[in-house]
Amino acid sequence: MRLRKRALENLDQDIREHIEMETQDNIDRGMSPEDAHYAAMRKFGNVTRVKEDTREVWSFVWLEQLWQDVRYGLRMLRRSPGFTVVAILTLAIGIGANTAIFSVVNAVLLRRLPFPEPEQLVSVQLYDTILKAPNEYLSIPTFFDWRRQNQVFNGMAAFSDYTCTLTGAGRPVHLNAEWVSADFFSTLGVTPQLGRGFLPEEEKKGSNFAILSDGLWRTMFNADTNIIGRSITLDNKSHIVIGVAPPGFDFPIMTPPVQIWTSIGETRWYDVRGAHGLFVLGRIKPGVTVTQAQTEMSRIDGLLAKEYPDSNLRYGEAVVVPELQHLVGDARSALWILFGAVGFVLLIACANVASLLLARSMTRQREMAIRTALGAGRSRTISQLLTESVLLALISGFLGFGLALWGTAGLLRLVPQNVPRISQIQMDSKVFLFTLLAAIFTGILFGLAPALQSSRRSPFDTLRTSGAGAGFSGGVPQNRIRSALVVTEMALALTLLMGAGLMLQSFVNLQRVNPGFNPHNALTFTFDLPKNIYSNDQKTIFYGQLLDRLNSLPGVVSAAAAVTLPLSGGDLRTNVEVEGRPVLNGTAPEEEFGVVSPGYFKTMGIPLLEGREFDSTDTATSPLVVIVNQAFAMRYFPNENPVGKRFKAIDPGRSDSPMREIVGIVGNVKRGALNEAPEPDLFLPYQQEFVGYLTLVVRTQGSPEAVMGTARELVHSMDASLPLFDIKTMDQYVGESVAQPRFNMILLMIFAALALGLTTVGIYGVMAYSVTQRTHEIGIRMALGAQRKEVMRLVLGNGIKLALGGIVAGIAMALALMRLLATLLFGISTYDPLTFAGVAIALMLVALAACYIPAHRAMRVDPMVALRHE
Amino acid sequence: MSTKEQRERIELLQGTLDLLILRTLLRGPVHGHAIAKAIEFDSDEVLQVEQGSLYPALHRLIKRKWISAEEGTSENNRRAKFYKLTAKGRRQLMVETNKWDKLAGAIARILRPGEQEGQP
């Protein structure tokens, strides 16, 4: 530091002395004093540059220069408020939109799982070699084999969702619960805040231990620290509390979150190898790759398939995926696409501002020329201009961050709640850093071309020409850049419009899909009948009585019960073996089945195509019956009438499953999603095949909500301790099933609208500017006899040329990019020619409209005024 | 400056200026103008130094502690800054000279392979 100060001291004087010495030498050689001085100056070179270069040796200079540039930049921005406001608003919208989407991407895709070494966590799944698809669900015996035989995991945990009722702690509460294996908490690397995790012996059959969530502990047990070792009642069975999970712990991620973890020892399918019900999470040993883990698990599955062909033959392979990826699932590609789309919006904003800057740089040409003449190096000029643009971008970035804060609040209302981790969106430091980087990147991006351009111009030409004439020098390449910017903008906008157009149509198609049932005026709710109070027989009696009473409620058209309801997210599967067509062990096709009450199809509005519905004559002792849907009939009985045919719905828990007779055929129903193709379904009467719980569905005359109160009273009059939950209308289920496509569509529409708006402004700006620039030329043309119409055509022609360029480039870009949307689209091709044509025409019209005002102004140019202007 | 003169003079290679300054200072402390003169004179006026470019170079050398600067008086009794080689600079000069000899030799061998072969 001191060295620097001392060295730089008197630099001016040193240089002056030097020049004086040289001058003296020249005089000694016989030059006139004046000539001698100039010769010395020439020989010395550019004094200012030398001083700057010398100072620069002492590095800190760049900081001083930066500070200078910043102050100067702020002054310049203040001096042209119109430009500044437009540029900042444009960029703030672009950066803000990007920040908002990034906050979603960050929360859902990027944030690490909140566990130690989260990258070691993987989801381990079976691979179904017949369906050629992974099967996430595992049976408990297979899980034990996996855990015992593998060499690649440091811990392996299994878990399975269920619900239960907590009684004895005030009002009965319905809980989201999880059966877990003993190493669940240790594999995740989580230690309970109170008590301990499960011990190996606590996952044995029939064990009854529970770990509470922090929330449950606080709300139901008043954060009582003496809770450990106490007994609580779940589904009328006593459980010993051994721990309380730390606050914020939620795994597996569910809405609403899991409230209690109990042992897999409680499941009734504990030792059934064919009962697939567990998710498996593994912690890979350090140094082992996901691929190696997959190879190892496939090896084990191959052995198991040989050892237990009945249950495992088709699952001779395994799939291992990083847990984060598994968790995020389908949301992944959609979010990246949205992120890309919003990036386009920012690029368009950049192009607009670059275009503005170029126009402004014309008016600053003389300033730049003077700077260069006074000794500013090219890099110095560029860095000053870049400082200005980055400054502009940073101001916009701050504003954009504010916009994003406001925007994410809106986003949160819009986002589908079934996207994992979406509720954890927050504007944290990472998001702020993103905004900052986006702003700096943006500033350099839109500032670079204008800065390079301005600095390239020769100062002499600029200074020599004066006044309006200065506008012409350098105008030609500049206009070329501006044109290129407009073409780029239009191409980007067209691509976004195309994406939005396809998504919109896809969404409309989705809305038009007939779900196969009538979702309007249908109320649904459910409750759990505790196992220890109600035997299965008692449960079926309870449901039977409840249905009778519901059916006679005023305002109720009909009532029924089923598990699971379409679009509600659950599924039950069974293997099908048709009578007279024996299949190899373990290879019987798997189909989805439902358990329904009499009147279910009528209540849901599902058409009965043939045969009959279930009725009260179907009982536990009557002949076993089944109803199938159209797709089932088509697949298994393509050329015959299925009614009267028989097949087995194989129950893995039973050694031999009985034959059932088909008594009816019903229409196909969308089970999982509106965009799925019809799949075979079969339905069993709840009186004959009861899975332990049912969801009630009530068809109402008027608003479904109106009936809710009386229905609740009715249930409570039969058993006051039953909490009702999942109270929803079928319309809500349908709405939730399209929440994700709706979110994608709305966002793409917003981005496309922003893009279109910005592009329109961009085209208008370029055309208006070129007309102003050419006022003189237009004046001459008109003085020489050009008609107003011709002038207008000239300007419009230019605009059309630009627009066509943009549209052609945009179509090429869209053709290349639209296939990314393929998985998100429904009922429309990514190359839909009508959409392409429509978007292209719409963009053309917008471009024409944007050109019209400048063209009109050009037409009105008064040749006298224009020429005098010179 | 005539065109002819310009053609005979050679622009300095990047970085060689540092070497020349160090070599000039080997003779003892001098001021900036004298360094410029010396380089010009010693090279029979072939090397053309834009005198101003001397100053950033001098400061670079000060920063690396190869030379030091002190106030003094010039021949004609004027106040001037004198630049002096440091011990570190002296070592550096040897290194740089060596490097330069190698470089020059290598380039010469590439440019005139025939002449090189003829030498013993």
pLDDT value at A471 more than 50:
no
Contacts B80 to A, Cβ<8 Å: 14, 17
Q: What share of chain A is helix, strand, coil (3-state, %, to 5)?
A: 55, 15, 30
| Cβ-Cβ contacts under 8 Å, B76 against chain A | 24
**B87 CA to chain A: closest CA distance, Å?**
17
B-chain residues near A57 (CB < 8 A): 56, 59-60, 63
User: Which of B33, B52, B74 lies at the smallest CB-CB distance from A50?
Assistant: B52
Mutate to test the interface with A, among B39, B51, B70 (most CBs of A within 10 A): B51
A44/B79 touch (CB, cutoff 8 Å), yes or no: no
A199-256 pLDDT, tens digit each: 998 988 888 899 999 999 998 898 999 999 999 988 878 999 999 999 989 888 877 7
Nearest chain B residue to A58 by CA: give it: B63
The count of residues in chain B is: 120
Q: Which of B37, B51, B80 sits opposite A45 (nearest CB)?
A: B51
A43, A46, A57 ranked by CB distance to B59: nearest = A57
User: What is B3-115's CATH topology?
Assistant: Arc Repressor Mutant, subunit A (1.10.10)
SS3 call for A155: strand
Residues of B in contact with A58 (CB under 8 A): 59, 63
Question: Of A50, A51, A57, which has the smallest distance from its Cβ to B63's Cβ?
Answer: A57
Q: Of the candidates B24, B23, B62, B37, which has an alpha carbon nearest to the alpha carbon of residue A24?
A: B37
On chain A, the residues whose CB falls within 8 A of the CB of B31 are 17
Determine the residue of chain B that is closest to A21 in CA distance: B33
CB contact under 8 A, A17 and B51: no
| Chain A residue numbers touching B12 (CB-CB < 8 A) | none
CB–CB of A14 and B32 under 8 A? yes
At A470 the pLDDT is 39
pLDDT (mean) for A337-355:
92
Residues of A with CB under 8 A from a CB of B: 3-4, 6-8, 10-11, 14-15, 17-18, 20-22, 24-25, 43-47, 49-51, 53-54, 56-58
The residue of chain A with its CA nearest to that of B75 is A21
Q: What percent of chain A has pLDDT over 90?
A: 42
- Give CA–CA dist A412/A825, Å, rounded: 23
Q: Is B63 in Cβ contact with A58 (below 8 Å)? A: yes
Q: Which residues of B touch A (CB under 8 A)?
A: 31-33, 36-37, 50-53, 55-56, 59-60, 62-63, 69, 74, 76, 78-81
CA distance B30 to B83: 6
CA distance to partner chain B, nearest, from residue A374 (Å):
15
* Least confident segment among A413-427, A497-511, A620-634: A413-427
Q: What is the pLDDT of residue B9?
A: 54
pLDDT at A396: 94
Q: Report pLDDT digits (tens) over A813-866.
A: 999 999 888 888 888 998 899 999 999 999 999 988 888 888 888 888 787 777
Nearest-CB residue to A50 (from B37, B56, B81): B56
Task: Identify the residue among A24, A43, A59 best suited for mutation to test binding to B, counting B beta carbons within 10 A and taking the highest.
Answer: A43
Query: What pLDDT, on the 0 to 100 scale, is given for residue A379?
Result: 77
The answer to whether A69 and A385 have CB atoms below 8 angstroms apart is no
| Confidence category of residue B5, pLDDT binned at 50, 70, 90 | very low
Say which residues have a Cβ less than 8 Å from residue A538's Cβ, sequence separation at least 6: A529
d(CA A512, CA A738): 12
Instruction: Dig out the tokens for A88 from the structure.
Output: 């900042």
Q: Do B79 and A45 touch (CB under 8 A)?
A: no
Q: How far is CA A678 from the centre of its chain?
A: 27
Across the interface, whether the CB atoms of B80 and A14 are under 8 A apart is answered yes
For A723-747, the pLDDT digits (tens) are 888 889 999 999 888 888 888 899 9
Q: What is the pLDDT of residue A652?
A: 63
Give the orientation angle of helix B16-25 with respect to helix B87-111, to 10 degrees: 130
Residue A610: enclosing H or E segment and its boundaries?
A: strand A608-611
**For chain B, percent helix, then strand, then coil, each to nearest 5?**
60, 15, 25
Q: Which range among A286-290, A331-335, A458-462, A716-720 shows the weakest confidence by mean pLDDT?
A: A458-462
pLDDT digits (tens, 9 = 90+) for A785-794: 888 888 888 8
Residues of B in contact with A49 (CB under 8 A): 52
Residue B81 has φ and ψ, to the nearest 5°, of -90, 130
pLDDT averaged over chain A? 87
Residue in B64, B77, B81 to test binding to A, most A beta-carbons within 10 Å: B81
B79: distance to nearest CA of chain A, Å? 8
Output the pLDDT for position A519.
94
Per the DSSP assignment, residues forming a β-bridge with A729 are: A523
pLDDT band at A655 (very low <50, low <70, confident <90, very high): low
Taking contacts as CB-CB distances below 8 angstroms, the residues of chain A near B81 are: 10, 14
Q: Which whole number is the average pLDDT over A430-453? A: 88
- Please answer yes or no on whether B33 and A22 come within 8 Å at the CB atom: yes
Mutate to test the interface with A, among B1, B11, B33 (most CBs of A within 10 A): B33
CB atoms within 10 A of CB A259: 25
Q: What is the DSSP letter of A823?
A: G
What integer pLDDT is reported at residue B7 of this predicted model?
A: 43
Higher pLDDT, A263 or A1: A263
Cβ contact, residue pair B81, A53, below 8 Å: no
Report the C-alpha gap between B41 and A700 in whole angstroms.
Answer: 109
10 Å CB burial of residue A764 (0-12, 13-18, 19+) is buried
Are B51 and A56 a contacting pair at CB < 8 A?
no
A406, burial (CB in 10 Å: exposed 0-12, middle 13-18, buried 19+)? exposed
ipTM at complex level: 0.78
Using a CB-CB distance cutoff of 8 angstroms, which residues of chain B are in contact with residue A54?
Answer: 55-56, 59
Q: pLDDT value at position A474?
A: 45
The answer to whether the Cβ–Cβ distance between A10 and B81 falls below 8 Å is yes
How many alpha carbons lie under 13 Å from residue A695 in its C-beta half-sphere? 22
Chain A, chain B: beta-carbon pairs less than 8 Å apart: 66
Name which of A21, A49, A57 is nearest B60 (Cβ-Cβ).
Answer: A57
Contacts of A21 in chain B (CB under 8 A): 33, 74, 78
Q: Which residues of A touch B52 (CB under 8 A)?
A: 15, 44-47, 49-50
Please list the residues that pair with A317 across neighbouring strands.
A127
What is the distance in angstroms between the Cα of A380 and the nearest Cα belonging to chain B? Answer: 16
Tokens of A712: 């609740």
